[in-house]
Structure 1
Amino acid sequence: MVITDLLGVAKMAAITLDGRGRIRHWDDTAAELFGVGPPRALGRPPAELLRLPREHRGAFEPEAFGHVWCGACTLPRVDDGERAEVGWWVYPIGGTPGEHGISVLALAADLRRLRRDGIGITIGDLLLAPPGRPAGAGAAARRPAGARLLRVEPALTAPRADLPGQGADPFAGRLAGLLPALDPAAAEKIASRVLGLGCPAVSLGLTIRLPIVPHTAENPAAPRAGGAVPPPRSARPRAAPRDVPASWEPLTYLGEAGEQIGSSLDHLQAARTLAEVLVPRLADFAAVELLERVVADSAPPAAEIDETTPMRRVAVAHTDDPGRWDEAVPEGEALLLPPRTPCVQAMRTGRPVHVRRVGPAQAARFAAAFGDRDLSPLFIGRALLIVPLIARGRVLGTFELLRKPDRPGFGDLDLAMVDELARRAALCIDNGRLYRREVQVAEELQRSMLPGDPPDVAGARVRYRYRPAEQAAQVGGDWFDAIPLPGCRLGLVVGDVMGHGLTSAAIMGQLRTAVRTLATEDMRPDRLLRQLDGLARRLGEDYLATCLYAVYDPVERRCTFANAGHVPPVLVSADGASRVLPVPPGVPIGVGGEPFQTMEIVVEDGAQLVLCTDGLLERRDRDIEQGLAELRGRLAGASADLDGTCDDLLDTLAAGTPADDIAIVAVGFDGIPKDEVVTWELEPEPASVPWIRAQVAARLAGWSLHDLTDTAQLLVSELVTNALVHGAGSLGVRLIKGRTLLCEVHDDGADLPQLRHAEATDESGRGLQLVSHLAARWGTHRTDTGKIVWVEQRLPC
């Protein structure tokens, strides 16, 4: 049954978003429902403020979704983490009505409250109103005993113009009461838009106790002796088709119940649905209790069950008056069940425990499992059935069923149906738990493979941003990195593995590790991509990825690029002009057969470079070329605040729940001041050693680094001496004051020095041991003409 026009009937929260998807209006009902007030909510995207499921975030994006969405989800409150069951009606408004610029209107309601208290309306002779709510004199007398809402689901429906108060004008008035003050034209536009898309409504599943009325052809509504009358037509059970035998009813029920239980990938929602479908068809009271580790989906279910196993009650359903058992057996309560209770027995044996009628002594023992609360009235005289939930050979929990004394006990057919539902529900709960676990593992895997904080290097500033795709289980293969290289240079890489899922994430991790390893060999960008391409083709056919690799030299103020089918970067000059760099396109990594090319440009101090993946540029309404044009436009005149630049790009170019991963690397080119770099060319003769020692001391004195002089002189002496003994051709020294004091010695020799252990009788081999002991770091790398040996010393604080 669908109840139309929920506005004015149920308590609803109203939230409005501006054209950027940020919250503009957040009322008191929203603050009560989500546990966060307007000061913290305003100006933030809903997906950032609330832990919305990823599959629903797109509905709150003004540009990404574009049509009305209604549905339900369970999410934690911001203040205390308590899970709230929320119904949503989200409308794309579009345009800029009034001065408020409302692009999205989201209405929300507490479904758990609606299910518990009713919604204060009358269906025929049935009043659905919370206890104590003023509904007119005699309302309580008209309320049928046993009336209870089981299911409340968000829905959309057209306004009922045939009923008083259901036209467009009253609706617009009630809607305007939820929104901030708007001019009449804006309010009318929003109301018209909502009416055109569908009014907020709920689909109800309810139970009522029907009187027994004899049917006569002459007068089917004739009252019986005693005043009983037929139930209102809207509350009568739907008759089965004439050609369906009555014996099929249990199969129909099992099919429909199983479909409802399996309709969600949320394991807790599956447990709640199980309780709802059991009542009242099979029981008058149902409670589902799961192992705590199943609820948290943090580990597989326990192999052994005893009284020390923590559990949690996740669902309760009953046919008693609303709120009758809320305090006695609340949902969400943590439990430690005493030994030898029927619940522990059912879980340990794997077989149901059936008590045909619970006597007073048994009721007292059962109630003792719940502490000091007197739950004997819940058990006395009722039929009790406790069924374990077992999936894949592991116990997940139990559910308990009770029937009132005036109802027959559980028969063989009932036991068979309960057993079948238990198997289906256990599998759905375990599948939901495994799905959640898979999502968590995939996200943790991807997160562990992405870099941490950007490196602090001389002459450049680096900032990252990463936003995963909207599909929770579809982790992607986007990666990015900034790699400190010898000579104060910086390696920059951004790439995108083709496809999604764990395989892509694993490939991404391997390629990122390979790039870092190859980068330390100080290869030219084109040669690095060639090596990476060969590695990918040796690993397998699925290793396909686009990649852009760049090296920035803050001393020479040059940036070298090589590309493997990736989107080009955008360079912003110091005066704010932006342009898309015409880097060679190249073919993706793993294709092979084509060479990679290198492009080198001069970059001025104060320039910025932005690299990204195609998830930032490509959307449903925009191709990559259009995205690049918009990116260049957004970067024109960008400030030196790289964090602000990255955030602005995500806010303006990316959907809040993108269809593809988004990675952004922003680099500010500051360069190393020329007076902090000095170079000497030496004659390859022994007299050069004392001369360079004196030159280094003089330069360090000019930099006020007197404390480093003795160690620096010793280190440069060892490196120059080794170059004279083992090197050949030209000889040079470069000293750079950056984040550290860097000393480089280059020569034309091909052999790289190796650190080795010198015995007591050896006449050589101790020089590099001394270097390794005195330097903070040291290393070697080849050049086009020879090699460089370098050492670093930490600068004094």
Structure 2
Amino acid sequence: MCPSGSQPDELPVAGMQLDALGRIVRWDAAAEALLGYPASEVLGSRGELLVRAEGGSGAASLLERVAVGGATTGRCTARHRDGHLVELAVWTYRVPDSGDVLAFLVDVSAVLRTRVPHAVLDGLFRHSPIGLSAFDSELRYLHVNTALETINGVPEVRHLGRRLSEVLPEVNGAEVESVMERVLDTGEPVVDFRATGRTPATPYEDRMWSCSYFRLEDAWGHPFGVGASVVDITARLRAEQAAAASRRRLDLLNEASTRVGTTLDMRQTAQELADVVLRGLADIATVDLIAGVVDDATAESDRDLTGGIVVQRLGKAPARGSPAARALAPLGAILHYPADAPYAQAVARREPFVVAEVDEHTITAPSCHTSAVRQLRELGVYSLLMVPLLARGRVLGVTTLFREFPARRFSSDDVTLARDIASRAAVHLDNAHLYAREHETAVTLQRSLLPQQLTPPPGIEVAHCYRPASDVNEVGGDWYDVVAMPEGRAALAVGDVMGHGIAAAATMGQLRSAMQALARLALPPGQLLRQLDTGLADLPDAALATCTYAVCDPAAGSCSITRAGHLPPAVVRDDGTAELLELPAGAPLGVGGIDFVPTELTLPPGSMLVLYTDGLVEARCADIDQRLTQLLDVLSANAGLPLDGLSQAVMDGLAPAPDDDVALLLARICPPKPGSE
């Protein structure tokens, strides 16, 4: 029998002893297990039970050879007690000085079953590309295969009898051995445990391995060690990490495309850029625009940067937070950088400027702006990257990205991503600047075409106000005017050219000039609007406009008023009550073929006529009727104010930041002073 504690690959060998007469005198338990006969049935017999019934057993010939010679080996066939045949390998030899023969029997099929696993295991250990090893119960190496020798860079002889932490001191051996101890104690295997570190095979490179552990047990289930497999997964993990980093960069680029440039405001766009790069690319970010660059048509490559550059900070994130963020200049600050500073170098070269790691070497580098870098290092900045904001061949400014300790340095992939984000943001910044410049041009043109000073005839007091919209698309086209007419009368007009921008402002100027000329000819309101309608239709752009035109006679207290598709005017009585005038709406000027019907009103002294454009009462998500009621409430509540004060109260109450530009004209009827002409 196999003794307790034998290795699992040992074979049970049956033993028997025959005396000089060929009788069986010893029959051990292994023989009983092999052939099924108890000792009581075979002792004293000559082995007939072992011989096949049909004869020809090789046992007799073996015994005969033993009788005349020494030890011999061979094969024979015996019959098991239950009747089946068993092929045996037999080894016999004579016991000296006794005449007895000892015979050892082994089942041939068991030998074959044992040889196959041995061949498989031997091939596995010799030729497997996976590192394999076996440890004893003290976690000392018992065996390693060729692949593991290559992985570790250590020959097998230097493994044997030593623990992993002794063979590979730069690997997380304590964690690995803790896992193996748990496997040895519980019998539960561990799959894909990650070991990391450096080995003699790669002494200057960190590697990672996927390790699996299982308990080794003998045939009786007694644990005697741990088996392990080791696969180097460094390349795979690096590829996975690179793919994940690429996905993150693509996600950030897509996010920047949607989060930057949501408005045509330069400051908000700059802040959006600073905010978005904090979502995985930097810990701190600033966005600075070069003072005067966007107003100058000269390309930066042709600019003289020997005196450095002046920038204005339009974006910063976070505004406070870390010591470095607090130390950086706030939003709106004007900053000057000398020609040798990284800012100036990034602008001059039109290329990102990278300080991969802010260390002593960087501080002492002659090409670096050392004082600023030293301060950043003291505040905890690890790496910084400056990227010029290029749009349409011009450098608009620089965005600077900072990473704080502990952090990784900016890589070439980070620089590429930052350049892409900055390039897209620069286009939005340039668009915002062009938008703002057009807005300013439209407002300037609009204001230049409006009357700078109104001189009404005696008996009429006027106040006016114009407020441009915040959006360039909503600027242009609103106007007002007061024209003195013969016989002490006055023409009052408010209009709105449909459309916006510079073109609408130019059309408005033409329309107002025509209205002034026709008013001085004392045309009745209906005829004047028909003439304007005809003239507007002759313009090349076929513009449309709304208008309210009134002719007031303060001496008579009368007023003739006509609408051309415009909102109804309001009148404020001398007792402070306000109401909207019910007048025929008419059609916008430029439609053509429409008759404009005037309405005659009585405006006694103290009455006030209020003319306005739609920007005053139209607003997003607001009902027009409610807004008109609000206008009447403001007029009534402030009717006792001087006209300038009332005008300001109306504008502040209804259009503090209008979506559309607004024109407002107030005219109060006053009795003429005695002796006035």
TM value normalised by structure 2: 0.54
**1:165-564 paired onto structure 2 within 5 Å:** 246=244, 247-279=246-278, 281-283=280-282, 286-293=285-292, 303=300, 304=303, 306=305, 307-315=307-315, 322-324=322-324, 326-327=326-327, 332-354=332-354, 359=361, 362=364, 366-367=368-369, 375=375, 377=377, 385-401=385-401, 409-455=409-455, 457-468=457-468, 473-475=473-475, 477-540=477-540, 542-564=542-564
Matches within 5 A, 1:583-732: 583-601=583-601, 603-616=603-616, 622-623=623-624, 627=628, 631=632, 635=636, 638-639=639-640, 641-647=642-648, 649-650=650-651, 654=654, 656-657=656-657, 660-673=660-673, 676=675
The 2-side partners of 1:318 and 1:633 are apart by 43
- Would the aligned equivalents of 2:309 and 2:339 in 1 still touch at CA under 8 Å? no
Q: Deviations over 1:633-652 (max 9, x none)?
A: 95599447434544555566
Q: Distance in 2 between matches of 1:364 and 1:375?
A: 16
- The worse-fitting range, judged by mean Cα deviation, of 516-525 and 594-603 is 594-603
SS in 2 for 1:668: strand
Contact 1:313 1:331 in 2 (8 A): yes
Checking the alignment, whether the CA contact within 8 Å between 1:291 and 1:301 is kept in structure 2 is no
- AA at the equivalent of 1:437: R
| Aligned partner of residue 287 in structure 2, secondary structure | strand
C-alpha distance in structure 2 between counterparts of 1:270 and 1:579, whole Å: 45
Q: Do the aligned partners of residues 553 and 311 (structure 1) sit closer, same or farther apart at CA in structure 2, a change above 3 Å counting?
A: same
Q: Deviations over 1:267-317 (max 9, x none)?
A: 3344344445445844566543320236xx766686425135322344456
The one-letter code of the counterpart of 1:463 is: A
The residue type equivalent to 1:514 in the other structure is A
Could you tell me the percent identity over the aligned residues? 36
**Whole-Å separation in 1 of the counterparts to 2:243 and 2:670:** 83
Q: Secondary structure at the match of 2:351?
A: coil
Q: 1:513 to 1:400 in 2, by over 3 A?
A: same
Alpha-carbon distance in structure 2 between the residues aligned to 1:321 and 1:561: 63
| Alpha-carbon distance between aligned partners in 2 of 1:324 and 1:381, rounded to the nearest angstrom | 7
Q: 1:624 to 1:511 in 2, by over 3 A?
A: farther
Residue 775 (structure 1) aligns with: none
Indicate how the Cα distance of structure 1 residues 669 and 376 shifts in structure 2: closer, same or farther if over 3 A, else same.
closer
Distance in 2, matches of 1:417 and 1:486, equals 72
Distance 2:587 2:666 in 1: 24
Alpha-carbon distance between aligned partners in 1 of 2:330 and 2:637, rounded to the nearest angstrom: 58
Q: CA deviation digits over 1:300-347, x for unaligned, max 9? A: 686425135322344456899712353365554433322244432331
From the superposition, tell whether residues 657 and 280 of structure 1 become closer, same or farther in structure 2 (CA, over 3 Å): closer
CA distance in 2, matches of 1:614, 1:318: 41
Q: Secondary structure at the match of 2:446?
A: helix
Is the contact made by 1:301 and 1:396 (CA closer than 8 Å) also made in structure 2? no
Separation in 2, partners of 1:396, 1:490? 52
Alignment of 1:13-162 (within 5 A): none
Q: Secondary structure at the match of 2:337?
A: coil
Distance 1:443-1:362 versus aligned 2 partners, 3 A rule = farther
1:393 is displaced (CA, Å) by 0.5
Q: Which secondary structure does the structure 2 equivalent of 1:431 belong to?
A: helix
- 8 Å Cα contact 1:271/1:429 also seen in 2: yes
| 2:579–2:632 Cα contact (<8 Å) kept | no
- The 1:362–1:269 alpha-carbon spacing in structure 2 relative to 1, beyond 3 Å, is farther
Contact 1:478 1:661 in 2 (8 A): yes
Which residue identity lines up with residue 567 of structure 2 in the other structure? V
Q: Is the 8 A contact 1:298 1:437 kept in 2?
A: no
Cα deviation, residue 475, structure 1? 2.3
In the alignment, residue 547 of structure 2 is paired with which amino acid?
C
Distance 1:415 1:618 in 2: 48
Residue 566 (structure 1) aligns with: 566
Q: For the structure 1 residues 258 and 571, does the alpha-carbon distance in structure 2 shift closer, same or farther, using more than 3 Å as the test?
A: closer
How far residue 410 of structure 1 moved from its aligned partner, in angstroms, is: 4.1
User: Any conservation in 2 of the 1:367–1:376 contact (CA below 8 Å)?
Assistant: no
C-alpha deviations, 1:142-200, integer Å up to 9, x for none? xxxxxxxxxxxxxxxxxxxxxxxxxxxxxxxxxxxxxxxxxxxxxxxxxxxxxxxxxxx
> Residue 611 and residue 362 in structure 1: after superposition, are their counterparts in 2 closer, same or farther (change >3 A)?
same
Q: 1:499 to 1:249 in 2, by over 3 A?
A: same
- Tell me which amino acid in the other structure corresponds to 1:642: L
Q: How far apart, CA to CA, are the structure 2 residues paired with 1:566 and 1:249?
A: 55
Cα distance in 1 for partners of 2:570, 2:426 equals 53
Q: Deviation string for 1:452-478 (max 9, x for gaps)?
A: 344354221011244555756422533
Q: How far apart in 2 are the matches of 1:564 and 1:495?
A: 9
| Inter-partner Cα distance in structure 2 for 1:368 and 1:449 | 55
Gap change, CA 1:489 and 1:349, over 3 Å in 2: same
Q: Which moved further from structure 2: 282-291 or 535-544?
A: 282-291
Cα distance change of structure 1 residues 632 and 566 upon mapping to structure 2, 3 Å threshold: farther
Measure, in 2, the Cα distance between the counterparts of 1:648 and 1:456.
22
CA RMSD of aligned residues (A): 4.6
Q: Which has the larger radius of gyration?
A: 2
* Equivalent-residue separation in structure 1 for 2:576 and 2:421 (angstroms): 66
Question: Is the 1:587–1:594 contact (alpha carbons within 8 Å) kept by the matching residues of 2?
Answer: yes
Query: Structure 1 regions of 5+ residues with no counterpart?
Result: 1-212, 226-241, 677-736, 739-797
Given that 1:338 and 1:369 are in contact with CA atoms closer than 8 Å, whether structure 2 keeps it comes out as no
In the alignment, the residues of structure 2 paired with residue 640 and residue 321 of structure 1 have an alpha-carbon distance, to the nearest angstrom, of 50
Query: Structure 2 vs 1, CA of residues 350 and 484 (structure 1 numbering), >3 Å: closer, same or farther?
Result: same
- Provide the C-alpha distance between the structure 1 equivalents of 2:319 and 2:446, rounded to a whole number of angstroms: 47
Cα 1:545/1:281, change in 2 over 3 Å: closer
CA distance in 1, matches of 2:604, 2:489: 15
Q: Note the C-alpha offset of 1:392.
A: 0.7
Contact residue 476 and residue 660 of structure 1 kept, 8 A: no
CA distance in 2, matches of 1:630, 1:354: 59
Distance 1:280 1:636 in 2: 52
User: Using the alignment, how far apart are the partners of 2:486 and 2:646 within structure 1?
Assistant: 28
Compared CA separation, residues 404 and 301, structure 1 to 2 (3 A): farther
Distance 1:378 1:487, change over 3 A: farther
User: How much does 1:496 deviate?
Assistant: 2.3
Deviation at 1:495, TM superposition (A): 1.5
Q: Deviations over 1:365-421 (max 9, x none)?
A: 633676xx9637369996554332211111012234456797665443233223222
Return the alpha-carbon distance in structure 2 between the equivalents of residues 651 and 376 of structure 1.
47
Alpha-carbon distance in structure 1 between the residues aligned to 2:249 and 2:663 = 53
Structure 1 residue identity aligned to 2:475: V
Instruction: Give the stretch that moved more between structures: 591-600 or 300-309.
Output: 300-309
Shift of 1:666: 1.8
Partner-residue secondary structure (3-state), 2:326: coil
Query: Aligned partners of 2:283 and 2:629: how far apart in 1?
Result: 62
